[in-house]
Each structure stands twice: as structure tokens, then as C-alpha cells.
Structure 1
Amino acid sequence: MCGRYTLLADELEILEEFELQEGIESFNQSYNIAPGQNVLAIIHDGNKKRAGHLRWGLVPSWAKDEKIGYKMINARSETADDKPSFKNLMSRKRCLIVADSFYEWKKTEQEKQPKRIQLKDRKLFAFAGLWDKWEQGDQTLFTCTILTKEANSFMQDIHHRMPIILPKQKENEWIQPNQLQPEKAKQLLQHIDDEDFTAYNVGNHVNAAKNNDPLCIDPIA
């Protein structure tokens, strides 16, 4: 799964890395991005790529209550092409969710040890995401979820699930505005190669979503 992550790059780095033509409104760096917060995402509007903010925790367009979003921060890629909540989104509402590391908690006999996980050879990357628009009365929400898969050999020691990180050459393909059959979108995710990861232990300071400062990423023994 993926329940917390970071984005510490500055705006210029993000614009260059993802070849964006316009600035990012209200951009803020974060040491501890948590569900329910607005997160930086990239879509393709049919003419160009656009970066903006979506609330993390998918609220499907048909949902009666927005609180469902807190249960839908992640979507299993293996079944997303078949689930009512995600099937249509897989075909036409795919997004990139920008990050530079994520946290996972490894269970030990004594506690859950938080770890910060990064790519070895890339600073910035994108999770494969889905988004939707929800409207009720005069309220409109744009929300998203992060797609996950079975852990690879590196992650298995930490957790049995992991977020899908798109290879650089697959990012544009994932958000192309052309409509895909949901099965085709799933196949795209199934045929990507994982990059090399690195991880280190961080302190329990990161456990509280209210904490958002450099102490979240400080290594501990």
C-alpha cells in the first residue's frame, strides 16, 4: 500500500522533470503527505499536460458521501479494471501523482518501524494514479487514488504491497487522453520493470500526519 509520501523538490525541478509548460498554482513542498490532503498530480487535457492538486482519497462520481474517500486512498491494480469504483477511471481518468519518496512501516516484534523509500537513480518520480470528479449540491471535489501491486523482492521484506511507480518512458503513455479499454490500461501496468530502491529507518515523528518538517526524514540507527 501507500499511506504517506514526500515531495521535497522545488517547483522548477518539477516543471523540468515532467516537461510542464505552465507553473503550479499554490505549490508547497511536504515532508509528510497524508490521505485527505491535496496532492500534486498531472493529467493531459487533450492539448497539453497540466499540473494541479487533487484530494488524496478517491470519491467516485456516484458516491453519496464524500467520506468514502478515506477508504480509497489506494486501488489494487490487479482488479481495478473490473471494480465499479475504478473501471471507468482506468479507461479515461488516469493521472501521475508526483513524489520523491514514500514511507512504509515494517512490522517487528516490538513495533512498526517507519522507513523512507527512494529510487536509487531518480530523485523525482510519479505514482500511477486515477482521479474523479464528485459533485453534490454546490460542492465539487476532484480526488485521486494511488494504484498498488504485489511487493517486489526489495519491498517484500517491508510490506506485502507497494505503490506502482511508472518508468520515465511510460509516464506520458499512462496519461494520454485517448480512451483505453480498462484491461489495456491494466496490461500497461503489468508490463513495467521496477527500478532499484533504497530505504532507511526514520523515527516515529512521521507517524503523526500533523508533523511536516525535516525531522520526518532524519535517519535513525
Structure 2
Amino acid sequence: MCGRTGLTLPKDKVQCACSYKPKNSDSYTKPPWLPEFNASKEYTPSHNIAPTDVTPVLVSATNFENDEQCGRVLKPMMWGIIPPWHKGDYKNHNLSTNNCRLENIKSSKLYSPILSNGGRCIILAEGFYEWQTTNKLSKSKQPYYIYAPQDDGVKVDEPDTWNNSFDKEKGWKGIRLLHMAGLYHVWQNEGTIIYSYSVITMESNSTMDWLHHRMPAILDSEEQIEAWLDIDNVKPDMALAYLKPVKVLSWHQVSTAVNNSRYKASDCNKRLPEEKKNKTTQKTLNSWFVKAEKRKSTESNDSESKKQKK
């Protein structure tokens, strides 16, 4: 599952972070940023991106007209695909389309045609938030911030350590973004045009199953990125075969303030201080012991009641 992300880089830095070497080229190029058509909604850098927010998405240039000769472009899109058959207010389609399950794409009335028509995209993020569902002892779900492993000295929650830079010979040096596989669609109704996407999810592997049973399909190699975007030469079935559970990720606990999707402050992805983590752990243990004592007390009372009846 993926229900919240973070991306705080401005447009020009996102372009730099997505730079790549085209085939038969020795230098890095930045994908152009295409105009926005999303009901007047624009990309706004944020520490707490929620569904219906607009974020930059990497796509093949095949489906877009652009002046520059390039294979990839950046297109701002809204999170949550609007079904092609929906009419009227785009907010009222009443379907949950923030994520699409990898196992169901080919049989889906919504996603299968999009996949067949080349609607593959890559959602960019500095990290995503996930709430632990595997701890049955805790009454509240602890949120975590998950992100790509960074170079020594780079801390994802401390922008002053990123040292972002770009040049054509060396490419991007700075914070490493996550590349999440997704599907996108262009919805039109009475003159309104909205580009929207869904994040593809899959069963978690040992990297994340301690936290949640689902995880986004993360592309962690240039080969995977190239194949997913190459809608001209890589057919849908082959593209899906490139989606594998990522084996290496980093994470840390964050405050439950991120639970509120309207809260966008810079402390959303900050590492939870040790003393607060200890309090959370102790609270969970205390809850378990209280429940255990209650069970013992109930069993003891039941036993005593049975004796009296005899």
C-alpha cells in the first residue's frame, strides 16, 4: 500500500534528479517539464503529499509533443486515476484508485486498457509513509518514512546535508529519489483535462513485511526504469515482469502528526527522537501486560466460579 509520499524539490531540481544518459550519448540530459493541465491544480513541493495532490511523473515522450528530442518527459499529474467512463465532477467517481494491485491489473476493467494503451509512468518521491499494521499489540498504528539508501552523510530528513548538484558529465549528485511504477490516464470532460495516476503495489517481501503486507513497485535500477518507460519496444507483459519487490530500503519512525493529510510542515518526515520511540515501545508493552493480567484475572474468576458451583 502507498497512501502518502513526500517530495520537496522544486521543478528544476526534480528535472536534475531525473537526468539520465540517452542511448548513444556520453552526457546526461534532463527531461523537459511539460505544461500542467489539472483543473488549475499545480505541483507544490510538500513533506506530506496525499491523494488528489499533483506531483511530477516521469513518462515516455512518445505520447507527448515536445520541442526537445528526448525519450523522457516530466508531466505533473494528480494522484488517483479518474475512470475514463466518469462524467461530471472529477472528485465524485467514488472509486479507490490511489493504488492498483499488480496481481489484478490485467483483469481490471479500469487498469487493463490503460496498460495496453501505453499508460505506464514513474511516480517520483523522496520517500513514502507507511503505517505499521503487523503490530497487533498497539492500539495506534506507528507511521514510518521509507526511502532509498543515501550516500554517506546524506540524511533524507535534513535537506542541509543533500549537497544537490548537476552537470552533464557526472549527472545528479544529491538526494536519491524513489521511482515507483504506476499507470496514468488522461481524463477529459466538458473542456476539463486532468492527467491522473495510480501507484502499483505488490505483496511485500522480507524487506517490508515486518511493517505492512503491501509495498509499492519500486524501480531501483536504470534497466528497470528504461524498460518501464519504453512503451514502443517493451510490451505490457514484459514490462510487468520487470516489477520485482525491492530488496534494499531505508526507514525511520516519524510523528503521528503526518496522519493528518492537511499537515504539511517540514517535521512530517523527521526522525522520531529516541526518547519518544522508547515511550511508544513502553506503552505497547504496558498495554500487552495489562491485557495479559486481565486475561489471567478473568480465567481465575471463571475457575473460582466453577469450583463454587461444584
The TM-score, its normalising length taken from structure 2, stands at: 0.65
1:137 corresponds to 2:137: no
1:198 aligned partner: 250
Aligned equivalents of 2:115, 2:239: Cα separation in 1 = 6
Give structure 1 stretches of 5+ with no counterpart: none
Q: Higher mean Cα deviation, 87-96 or 61-70? A: 61-70
Question: Deviation digits for residues 133-187 of structure 1, max 9, x if unmatched?
Answer: 1112222221100000001112111110011111231112211231754333322
Q: Give the secondary structure class of the aligned counterpart of 1:15.
A: helix
Quickly say closer, same or farther: Cα 1:185–1:62, change in 2 above 3 A.
farther
Residue 72 (structure 2) aligned to one of 28, 49, 63: 49
Quickly say closer, same or farther: Cα 1:14–1:199, change in 2 above 3 A.
same
Residue 230 (structure 2) aligned to one of 164, 176, 185: 176
Q: CA deviation at 1:62?
A: 2.1
Runs of 4+ in 1 over 3 A off after TM superposition: 9-13, 23-28, 179-182
Aligned equivalents of 2:147, 2:263: Cα separation in 1 = 20
Q: Is the 8 A contact 1:78 1:186 kept in 2?
A: no
2:86 aligned partner: 63
Q: Give the secondary structure class of the aligned counterpart of 2:106.
A: coil
Question: Deviation digits for residues 57-88 of structure 1, max 9, x if unmatched?
Answer: 01122234633376100000112122111112
Quickly say closer, same or farther: Cα 1:185–1:64, change in 2 above 3 A.
farther
Aligned equivalents of 2:73, 2:120: Cα separation in 1 = 13
Residue 88 (structure 1) aligned to one of 113, 118, 142: 113
Higher strand share: 1
1:37 aligned partner: 53
Residue 141 (structure 2) aligned to one of 91, 95, 112: 112
Higher helix share: 2
Q: CA deviation at 1:27?
A: 5.0
Quickly say closer, same or farther: Cα 1:100–1:180, change in 2 above 3 A.
same
Quickly say closer, same or farther: Cα 1:37–1:27, change in 2 above 3 A.
closer
Q: Higher mean Cα deviation, 202-211 or 62-71? A: 62-71
Q: Higher mean Cα deviation, 106-115 or 14-23? A: 14-23
Q: CA deviation at 1:8?
A: 2.7
1:4 aligned partner: 4
Q: Give the secondary structure class of the aligned counterpart of 1:159.
A: coil
